[in-house]
Chain A
Amino acid sequence: MAELLLAWRYARRELRSGLKGFGIFLACLVIGVTAIAAVGSVSASIVAGLQADARDLLGGDVEFRLPQRGLPDDTVAWLKARGTLSNLREMRGMVRRTDGDKRTLIELKAVDSAYPLFGAVQLDPVQPLAAALAVEDGVAGLAVDGQVLDRLGVKLGDRVRLGSADFAIRAVLLKEPDNVANPFTFGPHVLVSMEGLALSGLEQPGTLSSSVYRLKLPAGADAKDVIHQADEAFPEAGWQARDASKAAPSVQNFVTRTSMFLVLVGLTSLLVGGVGVGNAAAAYLGGKVPVIATLKALGAPARLIYAIYLLQLFLLASVAIVAGIVLGALAPMLLHALGPALPVELRLGVYPKPLLVAAGFGLLTALGFSLWPLAKARRVPAASLFRNLVETTGIRLGWRDWVASAVVVLALAALALVDAEDKRIAAGFLAAVAVALLSFRLVGSGVMRAAAAVHIRRRPWLRLAIANLHRPGAATPSVVLSMGLGLTVLVAVGLVEGSLTHEVAERLPEQAPSYFFIDIQRDQVAPFKTLVESLPGTSGLDLVPNLRTRIAALNGAKPDESKVEPDVRWILKSERGLTYAARPPSGSHVVAGEWWPADYQGPPLISLDADLAAGLHLKLGDTVTFNLAGREITARIANFRKIDWTTLGINFFTIFAPGALEAAPQTAIATVHADSPQDEERLAREVTDAFPNVSAIRVKDALDTLAKILGDMAAAVRAIAAITVLAGVLVLTGAVAATRRRRVYDAVVLKVLGATRAVIARGFLVEYGILGGATALIAVALGTLAAWLVVTQLLKGEWSFDAGRVIVIALGGTVVTLAVALAGTWRVLGARAAPQLRNE
């Protein structure tokens, strides 16, 4: 303890000279910690915003949601006894101008008079919702998203057609309390009353729709208890029940997942900065050799030396970390004030958890990269006072130093894993970073070894350039490592984005149909077919039955009691579509078992998607029981298929053999290809005019939405990746600055011998060119590998290599390396010779 106090006193004394010389040390830590703290704080603000408005977003204390049909009267009565009940229907529909000139797909929500249970609907012009939606003179009102007016070219008060009835647009929908702005929607929202929905004729059996029942509970009632009691009372209800804690699960998942990726990329920037931290620590401690030797000569034990400098570095790191978390904590406010409009409300505040995580990462990084310089400082011999020069590079590390390093590395990894939502992805990421770090370390020493093996004659500047790459204390390893890691991340992000964009923007549209038509009633199938086939410029009509079912049992056991992999659990959670077919559909092929004969009429057989079956641990001959509108059907697995989803054609995970489902309630869905935009337009018009209840989903619109979401995500990841490069640039700046003295000396001696500035500059150009080029090359290789793994293994997507992007990033990286290094070296060229040559 006394020793620690002594160490503290010495540490303070040495730090009196201020933070001079620690610019890079501090900047590297501040940048990394800020990135992580900012990402965490923004994500926490979003999640807190979602949770704070959870009841509004859910629209009730409890929600029961089930496809298509409503609940029987006794169930409704039971619910009514628990609190205030509100009933909604949600579905898709087509709104058209009354002259039939324009149409658009909408997300329709039919509400009762109790809606909304929480929050308020905001309308323009201001009026009660009931008034806006009321039926007047036989015409019901609509409250529509402003986009509907734009798309149809109509204005408030105009009439439009929805289904088979005319409606009056009475209000523009400014805010729906229960609508989390979900980017994955097919069209703008429209509110209608239950009476209005009935008038539209859209509510037909088998229509793809949801019935939603929401309860506002009396004070003191527990939402989870109510759900539990409801499930007990009506075990066969087949609903999805949730309380406000899961108001916006998909958005929340999206946010936490995105934030996890960004934190991991931020961690990379911190690790890159760590190289700069280590360099700065080594330079600082290297300059302290005489002090350390003197202290030792005066009787200071090695442990005290270690404590003195550990304390100093800890204090410095703390300054940077505090700055980083303060900046990070301010990020949500900055985003709120300046940033783009976010789809969700941020709840501003200070969120300690992400800040603590960021501080932890910062501290461990600083410690990890300072350990070796510290260990070397501890081992500086007192005898070095009697020598002119002490090379700390020759000092070896002891086993305790290795153990300490291992502990810090493991602690970093553990913190990253604990913090990450998805441990598997985080572990993969950490492994990738470890491989990258190791690779660049090897590349660094490879470049040095290669440079040492090269013998240049006749060009002393070139010889000097090569020598600079490999001489002891050369910046080669840190530059390669720091710039390399940053560039690798950029290349990987660029290529993943490139592959996804290529898929969504080019490959998919090439083979995708133009339109999906949903909710085609059984009696409409034949006329639909006739109509579409009669239209010019259309082809590839694919029309299949669509039934909604839930998996009730796997080999007779309830799904919750079966062994199911997490990545396919979604299939058990709610109703899914399936179909039946005599022949295997295009876009998939049988990989195991046999397809049934086209005229099969035996006991129920099914064909399952092979990946899904693997996740459910099902094999050929096993049985699956489906709940089909309350009726259970057990079928035996006849074969497995591999599905190519990228055709965007109709494909179902489950296909029944003929004979079992023909009589069940069902609708049909269809895909059609249209040759030109005019043909597309005509197709949508003719079909929706003839069949007002059928919704036309334009595939290109859906793909555009998807492309936009991908673009936004990529922009966020790129921004954080750019921080990694920034950290690399900082490290590079520091490394170049550290070699400045030596470079000045070399330049001066060469000048004395008659070298011009151009000759010396050429040497620097070659040196940094080789460094930047080699680093970029390896970064491209590693980044490509990482991107390929992410695209093909994690996202299971189609890999495409965007050479243009890679070349731009690689060249950019080399140019940045050259520019930063030369900027730091330029003044060396003008250094005056005389002061360097005098004998002090």
Chain B
Amino acid sequence: MPSTSVATTPIIELEGIHLKLASAAGEVNILRGIDLSIAAGETVGIVGPSGSGKSTLMMVLGGLERPSAGRVTIAGANFGRLDEDGLARFRRDHVGIVFQSFHLIPTMTALENVAVPLELAGRDDAFGRAEALLDSVGLGARALHFPGQLSGGEQQRVALARAFAAEPDLLLADEPTGNLDLATGRVVMELLFDLQARLGTTLVLITHDPGLAERCGRVIELADGRVVGDRRTVPPRQAAHG
């Protein structure tokens, strides 16, 4: 699916995003005026050195962090108008997130973890679908294991299944292979792109691995809280596929 063909309706629109955080040494400007538009179905890699604001940008996109100034519109929803619970419901319906540290709920089995977003959405087939998703990430046999009993790669695959479970419009992935070894990371990334392609999900992938970023249709470079580069890769995704 060529990214250019869907680049007409933006799913993400950021206007003048600033974000300051208080720290012991005083206020720190983490994001300093970001304007960004991402179309539905696009795959976007965000790269940049440590401290450039990549993760914070992702938190802003997920409604987990409120910008100090600026406007966030995702899938037509103005985040400024949503309260905490409104944002939670929005994520439930539209956003899946994959973290570097997996963030599974330790007291729930793999299957239960995957089912959570479906259950929150009130889906009757939550467990059936969760099982299918676990199968699709190759963990059908480990459905009843707890996170503590799974390896890092397995945990991240569970997290992937969980993120895609509710078929989100937008998938945010923050260094999803950062805690994994090379081979395992590759498996996880294959799964990620595969699921994305199958579902047509908009993907925002944060990484400092240039190879991974190149697999996205668009690469945005951040430095010191600003966008310093924004280019389309050629050829997009197909090159990396396989």
Q: Mark B102-126, 1 if CB is under 8 A from A, else 0.
A: 0111111000100111011100101
Instruction: Give every chain B residue within 8 A of A458 (Cβ-Cβ).
Output: 119, 124, 126
Is the CB of A839 closer than 8 A to any CB of chain B?
Answer: yes
Q: Is A803 an interface residue (CB 8 A)?
A: no
Question: What's the Cα separation between A755 and B92 when bound, in Å?
Answer: 7
Say whether B117 contacts A753, CB under 8 Å. yes
| CB neighbours of A758 from chain B (8 A) | 85
**Does the CB pair A754–B127 fall under 8 Å?**
no
State whether B64 touches A468 (Cβ < 8 A).
no
CB neighbours (8 Å) of B103 from chain A are 749, 752, 837
**Which residues of the other chain, B, contact A833 by a CB distance below 8 angstroms?**
59, 64-65
B30, chain A: closest CB distance, angstroms: 11
Which residues of chain B are within 8 angstroms of A837 by Cβ–Cβ distance? 59, 64, 99, 101, 103
Residues of chain A from 451 to 486 with CB closer than 8 A to chain B in the complex = 457-460, 463-464, 467-468, 471
**Which residues of A from 785 to 840 have beta carbons under 8 Å from B?**
830, 832-834, 837-839
Nearest Cβ in chain A — how far from B163, in angstroms? Answer: 9
Q: CB < 8 Å: which of A468, A756, A838 contacts B89?
A: A756
Min Cβ gap B57→A in Å is 11
Q: Is the CB of A79 closer than 8 A to any CB of chain B?
A: no
Residue pair B62, A753 in contact (C-beta under 8 Å): no
Given contacts A460-B119, A464-B108, A471-B107, contact A755 B101 (CB under 8 A): no
Q: Are A752 and B120 in contact (CB under 8 A)?
A: no
**B18: interface (CB < 8 Å):** no
Cβ-closest chain A residue relative to B111: A457
* Contact in complex: B112, A460 (CB < 8 Å): yes
Judged by a CB distance under 8 angstroms, whether B88 is at the interface is yes
- Residues of B within 8 Å of A756, CB to CB, are 85, 88-89
Enumerate chain A residues within 8 angstroms of B135, measured Cβ to Cβ. Answer: none
Please give the distance in Å from B129's CB to the nearest CB on chain A.
12
Given A754-B120, A754-B121, do A839 and B92 touch, yes or no (CB 8 Å)?
A: no
The residue in chain A whose Cβ has the minimal distance to the Cβ of B90 is A754
B35 at the A/B interface (Cβ < 8 Å)?
no
Q: Does B84 contact A (CB under 8 A)?
A: yes
Interface size on A, residues (CB 8 A): 28
Inside 8 A of A757's CB, which chain B residues have their CB? 84-85, 88
Closest A residue to B112 by beta carbon equals A463
In the complex, whether A682 has a CB less than 8 A from a CB of chain B is no
Are B64 and A463 in touch, CB under 8 angstroms?
no
A302 within 8 A of B: no
Chain B residues whose CB sits within 8 angstroms of the CB of A463 once the complex forms: 108, 112
Cβ contact within 8 Å between A754 and B107:
no
Q: When chains A and B are docked, how far (Å) is the Cα of A752 from the Cα of B126?
A: 18
Q: Are B120 and A755 in contact (CB under 8 A)?
A: yes
Per the bound structure, the CA–CA distance linking A746 and B107 in Å amounts to: 9
Give chain B interface residues in 58-90, CB to chain A under 8 Å.
Answer: 59, 62, 64-65, 84-85, 88-90
In the bound complex, how far is the Cα of B88 from the Cα of A756, in angstroms? 6
Which A residues lie within 8 Å of B166 (CB)? Answer: 754
Cα A753 to Cα B91 in complex, Å, equals 6
Q: Is B214 an interface residue (CB 8 A)?
A: no
Q: How far is the CA of A221 from the CA of B25 in the complex (A)?
A: 85
Interface residues of B in 170-208 (CB under 8 A from A): 175, 178
Check if A759 is an interface residue, CB within 8 A of chain B: yes
On chain B, the residues within 8 Å of A753 by CB distance are: 91-92, 116-117, 120, 162
* B13 contacts partner chain A, Cβ-Cβ < 8 Å: no
Indicate if B39 sits at the interface (CB-CB under 8 A): no
CA distance A404 to B97 in the complex (A): 52
Judge if A706 is at the interface, Cβ distance under 8 Å: no
A457-B126, A460-B115, A754-B89 as given contacts; A759 in contact with B175, CB under 8 Å: no
The answer to whether A460 and B107 touch across the interface, beta carbons within 8 angstroms, is no
* Closest partner residue, chain A, to B64 (CB atom): A833
Is the beta-carbon distance between B91 and A754 smaller than 8 angstroms? Answer: yes
Shortest beta-carbon distance, B178 to chain A, in Å?
7
Instruction: Indicate if A751 sits at the interface (CB-CB under 8 A).
Output: yes
- Assess the A467–B85 pair: CB atoms within 8 A: no
Which of B55, B93, B175: most chain A CB closer than 10 A?
B55
Q: Is the CB of B84 within 8 A of A467?
A: no
* Complex alpha-carbon distance, A758 and B89, angstroms: 12
Minimum C-beta distance from A154 to chain B (A): 76
What A residues does B104 contact at CB under 8 A?
Answer: 749
* Structural contact, B85 and A471, CB atoms closer than 8 A: no
Q: Would you call B100 an interface residue if the criterion is a C-beta within 8 Å of the partner chain's C-beta atoms?
A: yes
Verify B101–A751 contact, CB threshold 8 A. Answer: no
Would you give the shortest CB distance from B61 to chain A, in whole angstroms? 12
- Check if B120 sits within 8 Å of A460, measured CB to CB: yes
- Knowing A834-B64, A834-B65, A837-B99, say if A464 contacts B93 (CB, 8 Å): no
**Assembly CA distance A56 to B19 (angstroms):** 84
| B108 adjacent to A752 (CB under 8 Å) | no
Bound CA–CA A752/B91 (angstroms): 7
**Residues of chain A from 733 to 760 with CB closer than 8 A to chain B in the complex:** 746, 749-759
CB of B123 to closest CB in A, whole Å:
9
A468 touches B107 (CB 8 A): yes
Contact between chains at B119 and A459 (CB < 8 Å): yes
Q: Which residues of B contact A467 (CB under 8 A)?
A: 107-108
Docked complex Cα distance between A759 and B62 (Å): 19
Q: Which residues of the other chain, A, contact B127 by a CB distance below 8 angstroms? A: 457
CA distance A750 to B166 in the complex (A): 14
Nearest residue in B to A836 (C-beta to C-beta)?
B103
Alpha-carbon distance A749/B159, docked complex (angstroms): 11
Instruction: Report chain B residues within 8 Å CB of A832.
Output: 65
Q: Bound complex: CA of A471 vs CA of B84, how far in Å?
A: 28
Q: Say yes or no: A751-B88 contact (C-beta < 8 A), given A460-B120, A759-B120, A834-B64.
A: yes
Of the residues B88, B101, B112, B124, contact of A754 by C-beta under 8 Å: B88
Q: Closest residue of chain B to A746, judged by CB? A: B105
Partner among B59, B91, B106, B115 whose Cβ is within 8 Å of the Cβ of A471: B106
- In whole Å, how far is B152's beta carbon from the nearest beta carbon of chain A? 11
Cβ contacts under 8 Å, B88 to chain A: 751, 754-757
Residues of A within 8 Å of B162, CB to CB, are 753
Closest Cβ neighbor of A742 among chain B residues: B106
Shortest CB–CB separation between residue A132 and chain B, in angstroms? Answer: 82
Q: How far is the CA of A24 from the CA of B169 in the complex (A)?
A: 48
Task: Determine if B91 and A464 form an interchain contact, defined as CB atoms under 8 angstroms apart.
Answer: no
> What residue in chain A is nearest B63 (Cβ atoms)?
A833
Report the bound CA distance from A740 to B49 in whole Å.
Answer: 34
Task: Assess the A839–B89 pair: CB atoms within 8 A.
Answer: no
Asked if A839 and B175 make an inter-chain contact with CB atoms under 8 angstroms apart, the answer reads: yes
Chain B residues near A459 (CB-CB < 8 A): 119
- Is there an interface contact between A749 and B117, defined as CB atoms closer than 8 Å? no
Known contacts A457-B126, A839-B101, A839-B178: A752-B62 contact under CB 8 Å: yes
Nearest-Cβ distance from residue B188 to partner chain A, whole angstroms:
16
Q: State how many angstroms separate the Cβ of A346 from the closest Cβ of chain B.
A: 56
| Cα-based distance from A757 to B178 in the complex (angstroms) | 30
Given pairs A752-B64, A833-B64, 16 additional interface contacts (CB within 8 A): A457-B115, A460-B120, A463-B108, A467-B107, A471-B106, A746-B105, A746-B107, A753-B162, A754-B91, A754-B166, A756-B89, A757-B85, A830-B84, A837-B64, A837-B101, A837-B103
Q: Which residues of B does A touch, CB under 8 Å?
A: 55-56, 59, 62, 64-65, 84-85, 88-93, 97, 99-101, 103-108, 112, 115-117, 119-121, 124, 126-127, 162, 166, 175, 178
Q: What are 15 contact pairs spanning A and B, CB under 8 A?
A: A460-B112, A464-B107, A467-B107, A471-B106, A750-B105, A753-B91, A753-B116, A753-B120, A754-B89, A757-B84, A757-B85, A757-B88, A834-B64, A837-B59, A837-B101
Give me the 5 closest cross-chain CB pairs, A-B, nearest first.
Answer: A754-B92, A467-B107, A756-B85, A833-B64, A834-B65
